[in-house]
Amino acid sequence: MNIRRLPGLLALPVLAVLLAGCGIRSTEVPTDFGPAPSRVRCSLADPGRATQGGAGVPVQVFLLCGSSLVAVDRAVPVPDGAAGAERRVLVAQGLLDQLAQSPSAAEKEAGYTTDVRGGVTVSGPGADDPDDALRLSAAPGSLTSYALAQVVCTLSDSAATEGDGSVVLGGPGTQPPRRYACTSGVRSRPGSNEPPSSEVTDG
């Protein structure tokens, strides 16, 4: 073996280490994570505009966005001269109809959805019900937790009720109506927190 070649041979490992330190090191971990996930904005470009419903009484309905309920501006038609119990029922029906409508293109783009299905009608109180009770054509207990939260929170903060954060709802049968409340927990997690209800004692 030629002794004079040893320094050159010893320099090869050092040179390899230096070269490895330059540039980008290889890795077995994939670096292509694909496009960034889209974020649900839950806000509209023009929140002051009633997106659906046209002319009528300005109202707000609660739609689902992400895991929460978010208020959206709408309008419901109410005939001139309607007052008292008649007006309350007309407003309540208009709100239910708005909830059942498919969100507009802008609302869908912002991430809004609804779990309320069409065909549900509302009427005034039965003979033994409190004056502020509303009777639905579908029993409240038959609605999904999301739909019930949307209905309760929308009606409880409208001209269809007393505006105290609750609404007295019953179904089509003779079962006594119950008072449902729209709480912060219901608004933030409607799928996990159903609107709390209690018996109605005032007739």
> DSSP per residue over 33-66, as a string?
--SPPPPP----SSTTS--SS-SSEEEEEEEEET
Are 60 and 73 in contact, with CB atoms under 8 Å apart?
yes
CA distance 137 to 145: 17
Are 111 and 66 in contact, with CB atoms under 8 Å apart?
yes
Place of tokens 């927190």: 193
DSSP-assigned beta bridge partners for residue 113: 64
Are 134 and 200 in contact, with CB atoms under 8 Å apart?
no
Which residues touch 66 (CB under 8 Å, ≥6 apart)? 40, 42, 111
Three-class SS state of 195: coil
Can you give the pLDDT at residue 35?
42
Can you give the pLDDT at residue 147?
97
Below-50 pLDDT ranges, the chain:
3, 6-7, 9-39, 48-51, 53
Residue 79 structure tokens? 């005939």
- Within 10 Å of residue 167's Cβ, how many Cβ atoms? 30
Residue 23 structure tokens? 């540039």
Can you give the pLDDT at residue 65?
95
Can you give the pLDDT at residue 52?
53
Per DSSP, which regions of 68-150 are E strands? Answer: 68-76, 112-113, 122-123, 133-136
Can you give the pLDDT at residue 161?
84
Can you give the pLDDT at residue 16?
47
Three-class SS state of 69: strand
